[in-house]
Structure 1
Amino acid sequence: MTQPINVFSEIGKLKTVLLHRPGKELENLMPDYLDDLLFDDIPYLPQAQKEHDAFADLLRKKGVEVVYLEDLAAEAISEPDVRSSFIKDYLEEANIKGTGLTRMIQAKLDAIRTNRELIDVTMAGIPKSDLEELKSKSLTDMIESDYPFAIDPMPNLYFTRDPFATLGTGVSINKMYSVTRRRETLYAKYIFTYHPRFKDSNIPMLYDRHDSTRIEGGDELVLSKDLLALGMSQRTDVASIEKLAKNIFEQKIGFKRLLAFDIGSKRKFMHLDTVFTMLDYDKFSIHPEIEGDLTVYSISETVDGKIEIIKECDSLEAILNKYLEIDTVKLIRCGGNDPMAAAREQWNDGSNTLAIAPGEVIVYDRNPVTNKALEEAGVTLNYIAGSELVRGRGGPRCMSMPLVREDI
């Protein structure tokens, strides 16, 4: 049987990828609540869907199998008892105030005819305006509130990179930084437990969504079959990296070393992949602000099974040369040598590329200075529009979760 998860690099030819087509959850964004839902602006849904469809079509034209989170989740809950369990878990994690409201929403969800429609509704959230007048015995339900939602939407779902990460043949189902995103990982739980594509494959589970410390997929990069890069960032705790390393070594999935990069906790550097992505065996896109000396922690397993951690302070170039065991690497600056272009294009995810083969990547067309620098370095570019998608602060890598790559 072919392994349904196989990701031992960032650049091996992409064979299967998981996406989420933006849905009604974006139309449930409201200006007063953008910060809570981690958005800076409201994308226009029809245009965002056109841009996302073009992204998916480009991947298919390149021979990549595209599967959708919403389809896999619907297929995973095909058995009635699994569907009931999913609804129960969803309601428990939805932060609903009041038992009467919970019962009303459960009745609404139970009555939905198809599993795909059920998944779409759970992703979109439930505005109070969609519910009939509450006839409740609960004081909490009876007290009026101006807050418009009974259950919040999940507008960040089209960034499929973060809720879980594929590492080798295993999966890290992540504890998300923000409470508003933690429910997103429920879909991964059901997909990897119950979907026919995955359930009988004994997929190693490398992190638990209920763990006490946070980690996100944008901070998890597979540099080679032996080497992972992890970001210590706004979204990922150092303790989570230690836990992930322990699980990886215990489950013997092949990686020999993890490099934990301390990139700080600034919003513009929310994940490692917003400032650093792999393009080819020896080429990387970077934000200029990480070019100086970095603090990096090398994590490996000793012969007697203990974890060894070594702190290093060196340039990114020197660290990559050392641990990838190559003579020289080429670091290509977001924005080229123009600091204003670097700031603007990094904000628009100029450093966040998706490699579909060694030296071939997908980029937003809106970052011309960075894209020119990539082309001059010999990287093959495939362009997608991102005028609406980028409003959620994520690029092509953020919007994709590889399930299978060819080994290199």
Structure 2
Amino acid sequence: MQANHKIEIDVNSEFGHLEGVIIHTPGIEVEEMTPENAERALYSDILNLSVASSEYSVFKGILNKVTTTFEVKDLLSDILSIDQVKSSLLKEICLSEGAMDIYPKLLGKSASEIAKQLIQGVPIERDNLTRFLSQERFSLRPLHNFLFTRDASMSFGKEVLIGKMASKVRDREAVIMDAIFNNHPMLVTRTINPNSPENLQNFPGISIEGGDFQVGREDVLVIGTGIRTSTQGIDFILENIKLKKQGLQHILIQELPDTPESFIHLDMVFTFLDVDACMVYEPLIMGTNRFHTIHIQVENGKVTDISEQKNLVKALKKLGIDMRPIQCGGITGDWTQEREQWHSGANFFAFAPGKVIGYERNVHTLEQLNHNGFQVISAKEVLSGTCEIPGGKCVLTIPGSELARGGGGARCMSMPIRRKQV
């Protein structure tokens, strides 16, 4: 990677033309799961890597066609070639995960080998009684969830908010992303990190994950609160917006239920598709339910209004973002909506206004998109050269029989670092 090629982080919408995205191609860390530890790894099932890899290659192939992609492992390897970064990052990880005994050995490895082991895990060496009898297989556990690069860091404007993961099993992802954004010579940004002792003390119960964090406009954030992003996490974001004293800013908050697990993040029930269209899981976003939609208005560093709104779509319209809601699972019945939402049917990733990527399995959702002017095109056909990406609205469909079982879709698997202004 060319260190002299600078990329200034800049993201002011969910749908501006994509100019750079961070991804992680799943590796053997995905298969280092057993039925026994799958729940600890935040999976409800174990994945078949060969099938997941084949599906992921279509997703990555399309991204490579429309933008510049950066692999986490490559970026991590780049910064680990800086001696000071290598020693401090390894020390931080080994200390926090109770594995200082492996620090000297790791330090002696090459940058690329360390990067690989920090993601795929470091198997335990059974060279004393404690380790011989340990039920653990790893001194540093594999990062099973890192293919969902969306969660551990979030671009907003020219800054990057580092995630405070809801589960300790994902903490290392945030540590790695923080190190990349602070040390990679190619990336120009300022990071905001909630993981400092002071922030953890001031905001007890804080958690923030990128699946809940959406940029509606340069002055509008849309954030979900539920099992992965706490109200304290949103208060932390609010405090950082207040500190900037930047005129009028808005945060729209959508409360999410704790169950089922498919409601894990806001982007599982709501995603932006275009300047004037969004994908919604209608029963939760538009239906009459007990889950609050709150608008917080900040003016020059002070909260000037907190009020409840009818729903997210109406709240956006009040701010001049007029969205036509398109229904996940179509309009034929509750059961198709529930089935397709479960398999990330609302989780679309826009690489330009009105040009999105989603799973081909969610046929009722795709049919609804088609009714709303989106041409449905197989990503495989685009990659094989049998058809082109059209000029107008389109949805490029990727296979997802295995990937969807990991609990995320195209938005979950992509972390944009730069978009053109809309």
Residue 29 (str. 1) matches residue 33 (str. 2): yes
Which residue of structure 1 lines up, in the alignment, with residue 68 of structure 2? 65
In the TM superposition, what whole-angstrom CA distance separates every residue of 1:312-338 from its partner, at most 9, and x where no partner exists?
A: 130333222112353xx3111111122
For 1:308 and 1:395, the matched residues in 2 are separated by: 36
Structure 1 unaligned regions, length at least 5: 97-101
Alignment: residue pair count: 387
State which of 348, 361, 365 in structure 2 corresponds to 1:366: 361
DSSP 3-state at the match of 1:150: strand
Residue 402 (str. 1) matches residue 416 (str. 2): yes
How big is the alpha-carbon RMSD for the aligned residues of Structure 1 and Structure 2? Answer: 1.9
Aligned-pair CA distance for 1:396: 0.2
Decide whether the 8 Å contact of 1:248 with 1:255 is kept in 2.
no
State which of 321, 328, 339 in structure 2 corresponds to 1:344: 339
Aligned-pair CA distance for 1:106: 2.3
Residue 285 (str. 1) matches residue 279 (str. 2): yes
Which residue of structure 2 lines up, in the alignment, with residue 258 of structure 1? 251
For 1:254 and 1:163, the matched residues in 2 are separated by: 28
Decide whether the 8 Å contact of 1:170 with 1:253 is kept in 2.
no
Which residue of structure 1 lines up, in the alignment, with residue 171 of structure 2? 182
DSSP 3-state at the match of 2:294: strand
DSSP 3-state at the match of 2:146: helix
For 1:238 and 1:258, the matched residues in 2 are separated by: 12
**Is the deviation greater in 346-355 or in 260-269?**
260-269
Following TM superposition, the consecutive aligned residue runs of length 4 or more in structure 1 with deviations greater than 3 angstroms are: 251-255
What is the TM-score of this pair, normalised by structure 2? 0.87
Which residue of structure 1 lines up, in the alignment, with residue 116 of structure 2? 120
Which residue of structure 2 lines up, in the alignment, with residue 323 of structure 1? 319
1:59/1:134 Cα in 2 relative to 1: closer, same or farther (>3 Å)? same
Percent of aligned positions that are identical = 34
1:224/1:110 Cα in 2 relative to 1: closer, same or farther (>3 Å)? same
The amino acid across from 2:175 in the alignment is L
Aligned-pair CA distance for 1:50: 2.0
1:66/1:3 Cα in 2 relative to 1: closer, same or farther (>3 Å)? closer
The amino acid across from 2:362 in the alignment is N
Aligned-pair CA distance for 1:151: 2.3
For 1:95 and 1:221, the matched residues in 2 are separated by: 34
1:34/1:82 Cα in 2 relative to 1: closer, same or farther (>3 Å)? same
Residue 312 (str. 1) matches residue 315 (str. 2): no
In the TM superposition, what whole-angstrom CA distance separates every residue of 1:3-46 from its partner, at most 9, and x where no partner exists?
A: 52110000111110000010121121111001111011121112
For 2:131 and 2:23, the matched residues in 1 are separated by: 40
Which residue of structure 2 lines up, in the alignment, with residue 77 of structure 1? 80
In the TM superposition, what whole-angstrom CA distance separates every residue of 1:108-133 from its partner, at most 9, and x where no partner exists?
A: 31332x212211111111233xx2x4
Decide whether the 8 Å contact of 1:169 with 1:253 is kept in 2.
no
1:86/1:253 Cα in 2 relative to 1: closer, same or farther (>3 Å)? farther
Which residue of structure 1 lines up, in the alignment, with residue 405 of structure 2? 391
Instruction: Give the 5 Å matches for 1:60-209.
Output: 60-62=64-66, 64-96=67-99, 102-103=100-101, 105-112=102-109, 114-128=110-124, 131=125, 133-135=126-128, 141=130, 144-198=133-187, 201=188, 203-209=189-195
Aligned-pair CA distance for 1:346: 0.7
1:254/1:50 Cα in 2 relative to 1: closer, same or farther (>3 Å)? farther
Which residue of structure 1 lines up, in the alignment, with residue 228 of structure 2? 235
Aligned-pair CA distance for 1:255: 7.2
For 1:67 and 1:187, the matched residues in 2 are separated by: 14
For 1:403 and 1:54, the matched residues in 2 are separated by: 21
The amino acid across from 1:118 in the alignment is I
Which residue of structure 2 lines up, in the alignment, with residue 99 of structure 1? none
For 1:255 and 1:398, the matched residues in 2 are separated by: 29
Aligned-pair CA distance for 1:85: 1.3
State which of 18, 27, 31 in structure 2 corresponds to 1:14: 18
Aligned-pair CA distance for 1:150: 2.5
